[in-house]
């Protein structure tokens, strides 16, 4: 009987191969979760990897420190704080340059509605690190507007920020958080991690999928009308290999005493005054979280109709707008966003 061969049925062979790869996958990937406080907010990270000793905590601490040192207006000795105080010899790092160039792009596309130099106005209205002014009459607003305008800044060949007026106040808070998530994503991919979900202050980026469930990561959009202390969702969606950022006047809306219509006030960087808007929330899907973050802020400043018009012209940008109409809320979604929605 020597030399007799045994053949497995093809169906059994396929099952054995499948089991082999499933077993390997189970051994290769394990779920790891990280959370903490950074950049004035919280973060939650989920990764799937079989690698050990990734030194994630050390890596995250290093990223947050570098970003804060570069662009935090809450750090007195950060590069941006020194620039805001009139120091013109600061050579900015690559993080600052990347965010500066992206801000310039969005500033031009929105005709000035997205403007990181609006900081003096933001502080004057009581947001940001500086003390609020007692009153904002037209004269005060006009005096502040001379310091507003991203086109009043240039990046020199030496890597220095040149300001037309030394009192111009630069603030990247509307885009730097999203950029930080992109840096964290690059950190993980540099470690060979390609299945992750990163959330920082409500902004998100995902790569790959939830290995245990073998499905895309599922994320949610908050209901802008939720009560204080409650957490309710407007919609859920599948997020795969994209970033999402949401900007909104959550729980800051008012109700017209006559019509019952909900509205919010957003500072118009062109006039320096708060404008009434019925756009309560803008969620954006993009290839990078920096762009998603920047456009979400820009759309809130533009208002519903202008935001709809601009978003339809942008490549690789999908939107989900929640807006008030009469005494109820309605939703506008782009076709691409509609495709990933699970419920709304």
For the stretch 310-340, pLDDT in tens is 999 999 999 999 998 887 889 999 999 999 9
Angle, helix 56-71 to helix 94-109, in steps of 10 degrees = 60
Above 80 in pLDDT, residue 41? yes
**C-alpha 131 chain-centroid distance:** 26
86: DSSP letter:
T
Above 70 in pLDDT, residue 1? no
pLDDT for residue 25 = 43
pLDDT for residue 131 = 61
Average pLDDT, the chain: 87
Pick 214 or 122 by higher pLDDT: 214
Grouping H, G, I as helix, E, B as strand and the rest as coil, residue 12 is helix
Of residues 87, 114, 118, the one with CA closest to residue 102: 114
Above 50 in pLDDT, residue 23? no
Beta bridge partners of 91: 160
pLDDT for residue 283 = 98
Confidence of residue 70 (pLDDT cuts 50, 70, 90): very high
Of 50-59, 95-104, 172-181, 265-274, which range is least confident? 265-274
Rounded Cα distance, 111 and 282, in Å: 18
pLDDT for residue 10 = 46
pTM: 0.86
Confidence of residue 119 (pLDDT cuts 50, 70, 90): confident
Grouping H, G, I as helix, E, B as strand and the rest as coil, residue 239 is strand
pLDDT for residue 221 = 95
pLDDT for residue 248 = 83
Q: Give the pairing of strands 274-277 and 243-248.
A: unpaired
Confidence of residue 124 (pLDDT cuts 50, 70, 90): confident
Q: What is the C-alpha R_g of the chain?
A: 24
pLDDT for residue 227 = 67
Beta carbons of 108 and 95 less than 8 angstroms apart: no
pLDDT for residue 114 = 96
Q: What's the rounded mean pLDDT across residues 272-301?
A: 92
pLDDT for residue 105 = 98
- What lies within 8 Å, CB to CB, of 215 at 6+ separation is 209, 238
- Angle of CA points 174, 182, 87, to nearest 5°: 50
Could you give the percent of the chain with pLDDT greater than 70? 83
DSSP string, 169-198: ----TTTHHHHHHHHHHHHHHHTT---EEE
Beta bridge partners of 42: 37
Helical ranges in the chain per DSSP H: 10-28, 56-71, 79-84, 94-109, 119-124, 138-145, 176-190, 289-302, 304-311, 335-340
Confidence of residue 259 (pLDDT cuts 50, 70, 90): low
Residue 53 counted as an annotated binding residue: no
Residue 174 counted as an annotated binding residue: yes
pLDDT for residue 261 = 57
Residue 297 counted as an annotated binding residue: yes
DSSP string, 112-161: TSS-TTTHHHHHHTT-SSSPPPS---HHHHHHHHTT--GGGEEE-TTSBE
Above 60 in pLDDT, residue 16? no
Domain 213-343 has CATH 3.40.50.720: no
Pick 264 or 98 by higher pLDDT: 98
Above 80 in pLDDT, residue 133? no
Q: What's the rounded mean pLDDT across residues 240-245?
A: 98
Could you give the percent of the chain with pLDDT greater than 90? 71
Confidence of residue 76 (pLDDT cuts 50, 70, 90): very high
């Amino acid at each position: 009987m020597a030399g007799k061969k045994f053949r497995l049925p093809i169906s059994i062979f396929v099952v054995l191969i499948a089991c082999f790869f499933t077993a390997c996958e189970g051994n290769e990937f394990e779920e790891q979760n990280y959370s903490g406080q950074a950049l004035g907010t919280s973060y939650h990270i989920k990764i799937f990897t079989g690698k050990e000793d990734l030194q994630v905590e050390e890596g995250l601490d290093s990223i947050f420190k570098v970003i804060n040192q570069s662009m935090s207006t809450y750090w007195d000795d950060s590069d941006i704080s020194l620039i805001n105080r009139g120091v013109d010899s600061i050579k900015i790092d690559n993080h600052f340059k990347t965010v500066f160039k992206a801000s310039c792009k969005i500033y031009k596309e929105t005709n000035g509605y997205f403007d990181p130099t609006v900081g003096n106005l933001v502080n004057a209205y009581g947001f940001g690190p500086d003390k609020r002014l007692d009153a904002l009459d037209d004269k005060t607003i006009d005096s502040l507007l001379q310091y507003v305008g991203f086109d009043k800044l240039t990046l020199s060949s030496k890597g220095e920020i040149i300001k037309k007026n030394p009192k111009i106040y630069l603030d990247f808070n509307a885009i730097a958080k999203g950029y930080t998530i992109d840096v964290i994503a690059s950190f993980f991919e540099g470690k060979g991690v390609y299945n992750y979900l990163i959330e920082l202050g409500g902004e998100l980026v995902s790569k790959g999928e939830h290995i245990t469930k073998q499905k895309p990561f599922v994320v949610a959009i908050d209901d802008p009308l939720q009560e204080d202390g409650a957490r309710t969702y407007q919609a859920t969606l599948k997020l795969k290999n994209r970033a999402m950022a949401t900007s909104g006047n959550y729980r800051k809306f008012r109700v017209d005493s006559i019509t019952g219509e909900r509205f919010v006030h957003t500072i118009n960087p062109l006039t320096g005054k708060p404008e009434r808007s019925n756009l309560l929330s803008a969620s954006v899907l993009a290839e990078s979280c920096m762009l998603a973050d920047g456009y979400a802020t820009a759309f809130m400043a533009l208002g519903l109709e202008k935001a709809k018009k601009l978003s339809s012209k942008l490549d690789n940008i999908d939107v989900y707008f929640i807006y008030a109409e009469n005494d109820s809320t309605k939703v506008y979604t782009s076709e691409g966003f509609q495709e990933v929605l699970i419920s709304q």
